[in-house]
Structure 1
Amino acid sequence: MMAATVNGITATRAFGASDGVAGLPQAGRTAATAASATADFAAVLGSLVTDAATSLRKSEAAAVAGIEGRMPTQAIVEAVLTAERSLQTTLAVRDKAVAAYQEISRMTI
């Protein structure tokens, strides 16, 4: 397993194009292994959405605290930029998922 952090979001990679799963060759995967990979992908997406929502809430709280004079301007700007980066990442993933769905729907049967 390999972990990577992008924009403060950590994702794990269970397998790749040339990797075998638990020592099995690529063609030897079972339905259980495929289900495990799907669950890992779902967990990564769920984590992405949760992290984005958390950073948006923190940004809103920082903005309110700044208006009330309880937080320095630099901390507010950092919180807002973090929320913006999380939102952009989430939108990019959504756009890729929509593009993939559209590509699949154009395939002939």
Structure 2
Amino acid sequence: MDVRSLFAAQKYAASMPAMEPKPEIVPQVEKQFADFANEFSNTLKQAEGAANSAMVGSADPHALVEALAQSELAVETVVAVRDKVVEAYQEILRMPV
């Protein structure tokens, strides 16, 4: 066996633990994404409720405008995050193997 290939195999074996996710970090990230998704869903439900109330005439127009602005901001944020994830995925696909 060549010394360079032995050295490369040792470096590869040493780098394997660095590529594995840390078990204490993964649940935190999952919880943050779940919290974000729940908050997004609640924002959209509030906006929908305000819109329904406005249609029957029992809501303040200011509350409707505020709810719609919040839902628009939430949707724009989710779209921006999605775009960043897709961009990162495409960057990974372009990496040479």
TM-score higher than 0.5? yes
Q: Which runs of 4+ in 1 moved over 6 A?
A: 29-33
1:41 aligns with 2:29: yes
* TM-score, normalising length: structure 2: 0.73
Partner of 1:87: 75
Q: CA deviation at 1:30?
A: 8.0
Q: Report how many aligned residue pairs link the two structures.
A: 81
1:66 aligns with 2:44: no
Q: CA deviation at 1:52?
A: 1.0
Q: Is the partner of 1:36 in helix, strand or coil?
A: coil
For the 8 Å contact 1:49–1:90, the answer to whether it is kept is: no
Name structure 2 gaps, 5 residues minimum.
1-16
For the residues of structure 2 that align with 1:88 and 1:49, how far apart are their CA atoms? Answer: 14
For the residues of structure 1 that align with 2:92 and 2:61, how far apart are their CA atoms? Answer: 47
For the residues of structure 1 that align with 2:67 and 2:28, how far apart are their CA atoms? Answer: 29
CA radius of gyration, larger in: 2
**Percent of pairs with identical residues:** 30
Name structure 1 gaps, 5 residues minimum.
1-28
Q: CA deviation at 1:77?
A: 0.5
